[in-house]
Chains A and B, each alone.
Chain A
Amino acid sequence: MKGEPRELKIKVNGMLYELKVKPNVLLSDVLRKDLKLTGTKRGCLESTCGVCTVILDGKAVRSCSILALQANGHEVTTIEGLAQGNKLHPIQQAFIDHGAIECGFCIPGRVMVAKALLDENPHPTREEVRLAMQGVLCADVGYVKQIEAVEIAAEKMRGGE
């Protein structure tokens, strides 16, 4: 039936959720409205700005460009799933320590892109970091500190100082 809510089984930040959602609902809406995880931001809704980026099965994707039902049976990580209690993820800590945060609106999406990158490629070149960051728009920072913060986090995660 048209518009009939369907079952959605989705793991978000390690927790399994069973919801009923209409087919025309976006993944970002389910995260923000149903699960109250507003860390993932709502930006352009046109697949261009990247602030809605989450990690789906280990890959950075735009949650505004995915129907919620397409994530059925899949695993999603949002910004809220990064810190372990009070302990921040090294990427989060690097962004704070290196002064890479200004208004903060692009930060959740950016951190998720960085996490997906470093989980897959612990030794990215600067070029690869730039390529990853290309998918999330910023309007304040000028990107320099953010690129450097990702590199600092990468080194930390590899066990360096």
Chain B
Amino acid sequence: MKDFEYFAPKTVEEVLSLLSQHKEEAKIIAGGQSMLVVMRQGLLAPEYVVDIKGITALDYINYDEREGLRIGALTTHQAIEKSQLIQKHFRVLSEMERNLATIQTRNWGTIGGNLCHGDPAGDPALVLIALDAKLKLKSLSRERIVAMEGFSKDMLEVDLEPDEMLVEIQVPTPRRHTGVAHEKLMVMQGDAGIVGAAVSLTLKPGDGVCEDARVVVSNAASVPLRVKEAEKRLIGKVINDHLLTEAGEIASAEADPPSDVHASSEYRKEMVKVFVKRVALKALERAKEG
């Protein structure tokens, strides 16, 4: 690994100051598990490495029924998985984390680090889009809130300025009769999904008509893909098996997945059908539970 200058700031302000100073030449390291690999391979050689792992102020999970869920960017995957609070109010996040990689990755890696990496196969982004989450980004000069959807601009590229840092993930409390589910196609437990789907369905109490739907697919494009056409198919109707199949097919038609060593584009398109349907079914069951 090439030499670099190393900083271990203790506050967010210090980090922002360093980023403002060094901009593109500086790279933040949190868990660093993906970053260190590419640095060792020589594909990334920043002049300045800003180690933010020690900023305990960004390690928190707070919940308030009105405000919703607030997760500090440096919260580990494992903390999210095991959080009683999250298991109670945002079960899908805990389930997603449980299936993410292996225990060592979950213990050290952070949700913020994962989101900023911008992997189109990434699970957290997928589920957070389904949950209509927002991200708080900070620089010395400003603070902005962006929708999770749209944060990923391209493969491994996110909407983050060189002097900005992700500090918080905000998840609104879901409306009543909302069910959210996530599943991905794994060959082995912990795999990045060959494809994955996260679906949120909100039903009207009484007649059970679908009031709102969010359907998001991973590894089906260069960024997590929200399939609005599939959502439209479901909204305003009482969801049945036939509609779910159609939603899957629409999502599949929208998808433009990559071909790689794990699967071809054609197979991924087929799997989008399967997973949108499976996950939507699960979300529907949960929505019905209330």
Contact = CB atoms under 8 A, between A and B. Distances in A.
Question: Do A and B contact each other directly (Cβ–Cβ < 8 Å)?
Answer: yes
Interface of A: 1-4, 6, 22-24, 26, 45-47, 50, 53, 56, 59-62, 64-67, 69-70, 72-73, 113, 116-117, 130-132, 134-135
Interface of B: 1-6, 8, 29, 31-34, 36-37, 39-40, 47, 49, 51, 53-54, 78, 98, 102-105, 107-108, 188-190
B8 A47 contact: no
B5 A2 contact: yes
A140 B108 CA distance: 28
A23 B108 contact: no
A69 B103 contact: no
B103 A46 contact: no
A116 B188 CA distance: 23
Contacts of A66: 32, 36, 108
A47 B32 CA distance: 10
Q: For chain A, what secondary structure do more than half of its interface residues adopt (helix, strand, loop), or is it mixed?
A: mixed
Contacts of B1: 24
A67 B47 contact: no
Contacts of A134: 102-103, 188-190
Contacts of A22: 3
25 contacts: A2-B3, A2-B5, A3-B4, A23-B3, A24-B3, A46-B40, A47-B34, A47-B36, A53-B104, A60-B107, A61-B104, A62-B108, A64-B36, A66-B32, A66-B36, A67-B32, A67-B51, A69-B6, A69-B8, A130-B189, A131-B98, A134-B189, A134-B190, A135-B102, A135-B190
A24 B4 contact: yes
Contacts of B53: 70
Given A24-B3, A132-B103, A135-B105, A70 B189 contact: no
A24 B5 CA distance: 9
Contacts of A4: 5
Given A23-B5, A23-B6, A47-B33, A70 B102 contact: no
Among all A-B residue pairs, the 10 with the closest Cβ atoms? A3-B3, A135-B102, A23-B6, A59-B107, A24-B1, A61-B108, A65-B33, A62-B104, A135-B103, A2-B5
Contacts of B107: 59-61, 116
Nearest to B99: A131
B8 A59 contact: no
A96 B34 CA distance: 35
Given A2-B47, A67-B51, A134-B189, A26 B102 contact: no
Contacts of A46: 37, 40
